[in-house]
Amino acid sequence: MGAILLKAEGITKTFPGVKALSNVNFNLQRGEIHSLMGENGAGKSTLIKVLTGVHEKNGGTFYLEGEKIEPASPEEAQRLGISTVYQEINLCENLSVAENIFIGREPMKKGRIDWKEINRRAKKVLLERLNINIDVTKILSSYSTAIQQMVAIARAVDISSGVLILDEPTSSLDKNEVKQLFDVMRSLKNEGMGIIFVSHFLDQIFEITDKITVLRNGEFIGEYETKTISRTELVSKMIGREWGEDSRQDHKKIRQISEKVFVDASSLGRQGTINPFNLSLRQGEVLGLAGLLGSGRTEVAKLIFGIEKADEGMMSIDNEAIRSMNPKVAVDKGLSFCPEDRKVEGIVNDLTIRENIILGLQAKRGLFKYIPMKEQKEIAQKYIDLLRIKTPSMEQKIDNLSGGNQQKVILARWLATDPKLLILDEPTRGIDIGSKREIRKLILDLAAEGITILFISSELEEVIACCDRVIVLRDRNIIGELQGDEMSESKIMDMIAKEAESNESIPV
Amino acid sequence: MKREKFGIKENHIFIIATMALIVLLYGYGSIAFAGFFSTQVFLNLFIDNAYLIIVATGMAFVIITGGIDLSVGALVALISMVSASLLEAGLNGFVVMALSLLIGIAFGAFQGYFIYRFDLHPWIVTLAGMFLARGASFLISTDSIVITNETYSAISQAKVYLFGDHYISIGAVVAIIVVAIAIYIAKWTRFGRNVYAIGGNVKSAGLMGLPVKRTTILVYVFSGFCSALGGVVFTLYMLSGYGLHLLGMEMDAIAACVIGGILLTGGFGYLIGPTLGVMSMGIIQTIIMFQGTLSSWWTKIAVGFLLFVFILLQRLIVMKRRKRNVIRLKKVRNNVKVQSPSQSVSSEYK
């Protein structure tokens, strides 16, 4: 371990209405791999974006080798020696590997680009720094994501020898590729670079990093030595609940669930997204999916709803085998899906509340079948009352509603289609506590009416409060199931934290 | 020199296809019609299409960035009109040429600025530019103006003898120089490479710190300049200015680019392509002329047909490229990493 390379002190960043970072500290040393951890919305990306000049910060100071820096753009950060490799590879697929490494700073000879030199140096960088031997004159798209990722890293390390930020570089790599990336990271570390590594995979964090900084809700929770912190401890720091402490005092009544299986998936999987899993949803139950972000919770739901195509396994709904699942079939079969990111995948900004509610029904009935305005109004009013959507009128643009109410509108959209199975992916994310409680209550009410619900949430407390059964995921695998009284936050955390292969025991 | 080693190899397919087409068409003409197989007939392709080669070459840069320039045909007409009226007013021929080029540069810069600054679709901005330029030419005069200026007439009639009594016009010489410069820019300058990068992925280009703004504007400036230069060459060729000149010529330029292997999606293509495209179209026209009985509109039908074939060809190659195996890292022991081109991978790795 060397001297402090990068120091962030009291970094604060507010977006309209949200405090994304408040008073965050971060220290990176030379020759260190340092992980930023936290659940979604914890502020990891924001911190990186502020550091690399994508966003402007509202307070605090960055020091690079003791000197104050204020990068205002990614280029400027790059010039200072801070380069970033993003999850989605930011290179040009139509150019050669060598050109991707050198574009914008091509070596020139007699006023023209020296292609020989570019190719020679690109080959050298890849071989010496990253230990990869490939034909650098081939276009980038001839290579796999893993190699493209390496090329992006090659560009980054060739530009700077200071700070390297890897933002979820492993999410699209397979095991072997991850191993090679780690080899590269280790050798860069030995060269004295400081590496900031963001990943959702706990196993990877414990394998490669030296230190971990945990953020939660935009706040600095602590900096820990990877060697000394236990998985359980780390998970509880991220989730924000002490291990062993249970919020659920009043035990919910254990409901009698029918044995009838509504959706049955057997070894359903998709390469690179989610490993094959078995899952059966019984009629009328509330099944929770718990796990950290990136564990495969959303992917399970997307596969069931047919948004992503499974490439292996089988699935049946109501005892009827479904050959190829897609959202249309899903809706026909009575499935409905409230996606995770309502801003992007859910609401249609420019339409009114009524129109947003009717959308799902319209799609189900057929796009050219007109639904009379009177009926539309009745339906909209029914759900506005039922879900207590706070709005002066149903003709209000949905954009004007608060997050919680927007979420209710989306819920209404699906309820209007009279679903048998409701998939809710993080329905309470980013909404205030009051609305959260209302939505939870609504889920229980719906379940009482006999609707089957698949419930995904990062908040364990919520999962336990709502669900009859919880399935726990880690690193794209289902690792366990808890039912009734077995369900507790500490048990779930325990399962999430346990090491995948070595089954390291955790002191209880 | 192993030139092709640096290039985008897939694109050779398009260039080879176009060249094969030229040879085929030319071969057919030579067999079918007496007098077709002559050097002068071939050189006339350059003389008659010099302006189109220049304009299409400018257009190619725009298309490679992923944009489009619909204003080129109207701009050529406007230049012909401006030149004719200024010459009629007694201005010096060379001054008129210089002014013409300045108009083109200003026009292109204006369009480019709008497209970048307000993030507008180039299609709509240059469509507006097209109407503006076309309308402006009628503002000068609704009639055709004949050019009698001595400088223009002299240049127009000048013959550059290549060998024997085979010659090309000054316009054709200019076209060849423009193409040579364009090839150089595309391959050997940072500007040229930035054009390809932006066409490949504009967001990445920005994050890699490339001057996206400057490059985008410059590309339209270059296209404007080429249109103006094409306008001057065309004016020399016709020796008249008329607002109705070259209606729909922008589409010929785009067609030439596509036939020459410039992908409309941006990021791919060689700068020799547009010239080859123009030549293919020129040969078809010559064949129809030699044939004698067919109406000249058959040229359009043939070009339309060709376009379909070429677009389909490009699409198929792009689709195949998506499906083909990518090169992945081999499972390694120790430190030796080798590529293995044979391992296949499912399509989500693209």
Per the rule left: phi > 0, alpha: psi between -120 and 50, beta: everything else, A271 is beta
Q: Is the distance from CB of B205 to CB of B80 less than 8 angstroms? A: no
Of A144, A155, A212, A210, the closest CA to residue A178 belongs to A144
Task: Give the side-chain half-sphere CA count within 13 A for A264.
Answer: 10
- pLDDT higher than 60, residue A309: yes
Contact state of B189 with A113 under an 8 Å Cβ cutoff? yes
Confidence at residue B133, expressed as pLDDT on a 0 to 100 scale:
95
Higher pLDDT, A146 or B238: B238
Confidence at residue B95, expressed as pLDDT on a 0 to 100 scale:
95
How confident is residue A432, by pLDDT bands cut at 50, 70 and 90? low
How confident is residue A464, by pLDDT bands cut at 50, 70 and 90? confident
- Percent of chain A exceeding pLDDT 70 equals 91
How confident is residue A359, by pLDDT bands cut at 50, 70 and 90? confident
Give me the residue from B199, B327, B329 closest to A94, CB to CB: B199
Judged on CB neighbours under 10 Å (0-12, 13-18, 19+), B45 is buried
How many Å lie between the alpha carbon of A79 and the closest alpha carbon of chain B?
Answer: 10
Q: Exposure pattern of A338-371 as b/e (b: 16+ CB <10 Å)?
A: bbbebeeebbeeeebbbbbbbbbbbebeeeeeee
How confident is residue A348, by pLDDT bands cut at 50, 70 and 90? confident
E strand or H helix that includes residue A440: helix A433-448
Residue B202 phi, psi (nearest 5): -65, -35
How confident is residue A273, by pLDDT bands cut at 50, 70 and 90? confident
Domain ranges of chain B: 8-349
Confidence at residue A245, expressed as pLDDT on a 0 to 100 scale:
45
- SS3 string of A449-467? CCCEEEEECCCHHHHHHHC
Cα A155 to Cα A125: distance, rounded to the nearest angstrom: 9
Cα B269 to Cα A284: distance, rounded to the nearest angstrom: 58
Average confidence (pLDDT) over A483-492: 81
Confidence at residue A419, expressed as pLDDT on a 0 to 100 scale:
87
Of A172, A125, A194, the closest CA to residue A153 belongs to A125
Contact state of B338 with A112 under an 8 Å Cβ cutoff? no
Cα B44 to Cα B50: distance, rounded to the nearest angstrom: 9
Domain ranges of chain A: 4-239, 260-334+419-499, 346-418
Topology of domain A4-239 in CATH is: Rossmann fold (3.40.50)
Q: What is the pLDDT along chain B (350 residues), one digit of tens a residue?
A: 334 444 445 668 888 888 999 999 999 999 999 888 888 999 999 999 999 999 999 999 999 999 999 999 999 999 999 999 999 999 999 999 999 999 999 999 999 999 999 989 999 999 999 999 999 999 998 899 999 999 999 999 999 998 888 999 999 999 999 999 999 999 999 999 999 999 999 988 888 878 899 999 999 999 999 999 999 999 999 999 988 888 889 999 999 999 998 988 888 899 999 999 999 999 999 999 888 888 888 888 988 998 898 888 878 877 777 666 667 666 444 444 444 333 333 333 33
Average confidence (pLDDT) over A230-245: 72
Rg of the Cα atoms in chain A:
25
Q: Is B328 helix (H, G, I), strand (E, B) or coil?
A: strand
Least confident of A173-182, A253-262, B73-82: A253-262
Confidence at residue B66, expressed as pLDDT on a 0 to 100 scale:
94
- Give the model confidence (pLDDT) of A54-109 as tens digits: 888 888 999 998 889 988 887 788 888 888 888 777 899 889 999 999 998 889 98
Cα A500 to Cα A198: distance, rounded to the nearest angstrom: 19
- What lies within 8 Å, CB to CB, of A196 at 6+ separation is A28, A34, A35, A36, A48, A163, A164, A165, A166
- What lies within 8 Å, CB to CB, of B3 at 6+ separation is none
How confident is residue A146, by pLDDT bands cut at 50, 70 and 90? confident
Q: CATH number of B8-349: 1.10.20, 1.10.10, 3.90.1750, 1.10.3470? A: 1.10.3470
Confidence at residue A506, expressed as pLDDT on a 0 to 100 scale:
37
> Which residues of chain A lie closer than 8 angstroms to B262, CB-CB?
none
Cα B236 to Cα A288: distance, rounded to the nearest angstrom: 78
Confidence at residue A338, expressed as pLDDT on a 0 to 100 scale:
84
Contact state of A94 with B8 under an 8 Å Cβ cutoff? yes
How many Å lie between the alpha carbon of B191 and the closest alpha carbon of chain A?
Answer: 9
Least confident of A5-9, A144-148, A436-440, B78-82: A436-440
Residues belonging to chain B with any Cβ–Cβ distance to chain A shorter than 8 Å: 5-6, 8-10, 184, 187-190, 193-194, 196-197, 199-201, 203-205, 207-210, 267-268, 321, 326-329, 331-332, 335-339, 345-346, 348-350
Q: How many residues does chain B have?
A: 350
> Which residues of chain A lie closer than 8 angstroms to B189, CB-CB?
112-113
Dihedral sign of CA atoms A56, A61, A66, A68 in order: positive
Instruction: Map tokens 């040969």 to a residue.
Output: B283
Q: Is the distance from CB of B28 to CB of B280 less than 8 angstroms? A: no
How many Å lie between the alpha carbon of A397 and the closest alpha carbon of chain B?
Answer: 26
Q: Is the distance from CB of A38 to CB of A22 less than 8 angstroms? A: no
Contact state of B327 with A138 under an 8 Å Cβ cutoff? yes
- pLDDT higher than 80, residue A255: no
Confidence at residue A87, expressed as pLDDT on a 0 to 100 scale:
73
The packing angle between helices B212-238 and B150-157, to 10°, is 90
* H-type alpha helices, B246-343: 249-259, 273-291, 298-323
Q: What is the mean pLDDT of chain A?
A: 82
ipTM, two decimals: 0.82
Confidence at residue B92, expressed as pLDDT on a 0 to 100 scale:
93
Instruction: Map tokens 């679709």 to a residue.
Output: B121
Q: Is the distance from CB of A302 to CB of A332 less than 8 angstroms? A: no
Q: Which amino acid is at A376?
A: Q
A270, two tokens: 């998709």
| Residue of chain A minimizing CA distance to B323 | A142
The CATH class given to the A260-334+419-499 domain equals alpha beta
Rg of the Cα atoms in chain B:
22
Q: Render A133-165 in DSSP notation, one character per residue.
A: ---TTSBGGGB-HHHHHHHHHHHHHHH-SSEEE
B42, two tokens: 């071939």
- Percent of chain A exceeding pLDDT 90 equals 14
Give me the residue from A133, A271, A311 closest to B338, CB to CB: A133
Q: Is B173 helix (H, G, I), strand (E, B) or coil?
A: helix
> Which residues of chain A lie closer than 8 angstroms to B345, CB-CB?
144
Residue A29 phi, psi (nearest 5): -100, 160
- Give the model confidence (pLDDT) of A378-412 as tens digits: 888 888 888 878 777 888 888 777 777 788 888 88
- Give the model confidence (pLDDT) of A362-373 as tens digits: 877 777 778 888
Confidence at residue B338, expressed as pLDDT on a 0 to 100 scale:
40
pTM of the model: 0.73
DSSP A327: H
Q: Exposure pattern of A27-63 as b/e (b: 16+ CB <10 Å)?
A: bbbbbbbbbbbbbbbbbbbbbbbbbbbbbebeebebe
Cα A69 to Cα B123: distance, rounded to the nearest angstrom: 42
Confidence at residue A172, expressed as pLDDT on a 0 to 100 scale:
67
Judged on CB neighbours under 10 Å (0-12, 13-18, 19+), B60 is buried
> Which residues of chain B lie closer than 8 angstroms to A143, CB-CB?
326-328
Cα torsion through B112, B116, B121, B122, rounded to 10: 20
